[in-house]
A = this chain, B = another copy of it.
Amino acid sequence: MEPVENMPSWMLTQTAAHAGRLVSEGFAAVGARGYHYRVLSALITDGPASQADLGRRTGIHLSDMVTALNELEASGYIRRVPNPDDRRRNIITITGHGIERAEALALQARAVQEEFLAPLDEAERAQLTALLRKLYDHHLSQGFPPLSKM
């Protein structure tokens, strides 16, 4: 039987774990975690949201969202206010400070990607992206939400 090390999905999870490690290390170096970046990024991309909505957008579990928002709020990266129209909900908004933070983390993520993808030329990168996009869209169509670090 073919060894597992030749399987594409083994290769995928190995290389992704490596990329994930590089990103985590970069984030940890500036006192951030993957959840922080995911939340700030979602707020920039899609605007203010309730906690539950943010959880749905990012794939972060609602109980972990509480912790992540507590940390981001404590550092002044987001603002959290009750929704006057529906007091079950908070409205989460990114601050100017938070935008700067997200941009700094995005720069770091890009730097990691450059290091990580160094062995591939532009054509190979485009090829890889197209193949992965095909897999990814398939999974979205099966109902799996966005998840993971970057």
Q: Which A residues form the contact surface with B (CB < 8 A)? A: 1, 3-4, 6-21, 23, 41, 45, 103, 106, 109-110, 112-113, 116-120, 124-125, 127-129, 131-139, 144, 146-150
List the number of copies, as a whole number.
2
What is the bound-complex CA distance between A138 and B118, given in angstroms? 9
Instruction: Give chain A's interface secondary structure class.
Output: helix
When distances are taken between beta carbons in the complex, the residues of chain B under 8 Å from A110 are 7
Contact between chains at B15 and A136 (CB < 8 Å): yes
What is the bound-complex CA distance between A9 and B23, given in angstroms? 10
When distances are taken between beta carbons in the complex, the residues of chain B under 8 Å from A20 are 13
When distances are taken between beta carbons in the complex, the residues of chain B under 8 Å from A125 are 8
Q: Which single member of B9, B116, B129, B133 contacts A112 (CB below 8 Å)? A: B9
